Structure 1
Amino acid sequence: MINDLWFTIKQLDENSYAISEYGHWEKVHSFLLLGTEKAVLIDTGLGIDNIKRITDQLTTLPIEVITTHVHTDHIGSHEQYEIIYVHESDKDWLVNGIKGLSIEQIRKDISRDITLPTPETFNPDKYQPFQGEPTGLLKDGDVIELGNRRLIIYHTPGHSPGHISIFDETNGYLFTGDLLYDETPIYAFYPSTNPYDLVNSLERISEIPNVSMVYGSHNTLGLEPKILKEVKNAVKFLRENELTKFGTGIHKFNGFSVHF
């Protein structure tokens, strides 16, 4: 296995890898999924260091990037890859810049609470999120075939308009981006988010059958599928108590929390 100063690589199975950035407070995970014909990289991390250095060591297959959503910590190394996909509702953010977050706030967030040495190429004062045209647009229900592996795209807006979750039907892995993870709250409290949509999206992923493991983009790497039962209960609670709106605060459940 690769030993790297910035990235931590964990092999999930023979053809799946998590590439994590534990030296940053956001504890971001990107995921490399290998097939017989091509590979998919789910997100490209913070951009503090170049994730392509890692993926080049893990596979010689052509790599296509699938973007869970267009926030800084998920598009950091997009410029290193030729083929990039994003949901059609987040295309504008990828091309013209992320709405609702100033460059000053982005630079502040990218540079704080770092616990590992960063490469000399990283200068937070000049940090600029990727902007560019995607190779193609994704929509709900799209299927991506890797040869021996089938990925299904679910449009799960709320955290961003074009947020997606990816279900690896072959292995039962559900990649939830920033829709579901543990330890820190799921965020839907700033203007570019939508609490109502987020709750609908949580309900939707809770009903996906045959999930063997849930992989969020932050914090604990891999959550048992029983968390989806807790998600279903949380959705019911939030709706019955009319909490799915801005300003209702942090709501804690068994295994995760949501901040509106």
Structure 2
Amino acid sequence: MINDPWFTVQQIDSRTFAISEYGHWEKVHSFLLLGVERAMLIDSGLGIDNIKRITDQLTPLPVEVFTTHVHVDHIGSHGEFDKVYVHERDREWLENGISGLPITQIRKDIGRDITKPTPKSFHPSTYQPFQGKPSGLLEDQQRIPLGNRVITVLHTPGHSPGHVCFFDETNGYLFTGDLLYDTTPIYAFYPSTSPEDLIASLEKITMINGVNSIFGSHHTLGLPISILEEIKLAITHLRKNNLVKFGTGIHKFQGFSIQF
């Protein structure tokens, strides 16, 4: 569909696209959902290259960015769009950066283990995460109408204070951001969140009716629905054994793992 040196575009259906950055060790996915009069971009990637170049090719509709959470690998191209939205509890990070996370660490992480050629404009030593004011704030259970589909916002703290998932009610797609993915462990961002928050949020997504497909923001594109049942078993195990606290290590389950 689109042959791009940095981004890989994969079509989920005729009006839903994954825009992936497989050339970076984090294997980040952003998602473009087309409506009738506007389009919704879930996150804007690493910022190594400009994701707007891709969205411009996929739709003539105005694109608004809805943020799962304000870690740098999800807000990289926010500055390219006129409207960006974030949950209230992540607003401070969007406007002023993440307290306690030095720019030297961010630049080290953004520049390592890259396997594809990067644009000439990208220099890890001068990489600067996006900072700015959001156009609006997201709330739990807020419904976002796109015309031909309705998206529900689910506040799911744990990985970040203002982390949200998005549920496309019309198609049954659940976009889990960094609350749920495979290959590397899911974790609570210390010290701003808690293991208890993460487990409560995982439990929350298991209670959604009508989920047909699950899309995390890293690694494998598309997770099996059976993972929701495995989450229930994992929660029971972790709570029963008093493991829901920092320092208990990595806990492996079928299809995912959790690190505290």
Q: TM-score, normalised by structure 2?
A: 0.99
Q: What is the correspondence of 1:71-90 to structure 2 with a 5 Å cutoff?
A: 71-90=71-90
Could you tell me which residue of structure 2 aligns to residue 53 of structure 1? 53
Aligned to 2:18: 18
1:30 equivalent in structure 2: 30
Indicate the residue corresponding to 2:151 in structure 1: 151
2:70 partner SS:
coil
Q: C-alpha deviations, 1:95-128, integer Å up to 9, x for none?
A: 0111232111111100000000000000100111
Equivalence map 1:26-175=2 (5 Å): 26-175=26-175
Write the letter of the residue equivalent to 1:258.
I
CA RMSD across the alignment: 0.7
Distance 1:57 1:235 in 2: 42
Tell me the CA shift for residue 188 of structure 1: 1.7
Aligned residues: 260
Inter-partner Cα distance in structure 2 for 1:199 and 1:149:
29
CA-CA distance at 1:37 after TM superposition: 1.6
Unaligned runs of 5+ in 2: none
Q: Which amino acid aligns with 1:52?
A: K
For structure 1, the residue ranges without an aligned partner over 5 or more in a row are none
Deviation string 1:152-194 (CA, Å, 9 cap, x unpaired) is: 0000000000000000000000000000000110122522231
| Matches of 1:192 and 1:37, distance apart in 2 | 37
Paired residue secondary structure (1:183)? coil
SS at match of 2:219: coil
Structure 1 residue 230 corresponds to structure 2 residue 230: yes
Runs of 4+ in structure 1 off by over 4 angstroms are none
Give per-residue Cα distances to partners, 1:25-77, cap 9 Å, x unaligned.
00000000001121000000000000000000000011110000000000000
User: Is the Cα contact below 8 Å between 1:249 and 1:259 reproduced in 2?
Assistant: yes
Separation (CA, whole Å) in 2 of partners of 1:137 and 1:189: 21
Matches within 5 A, 1:174-185: 174-185=174-185
TM-score normalized by structure 1? 0.99
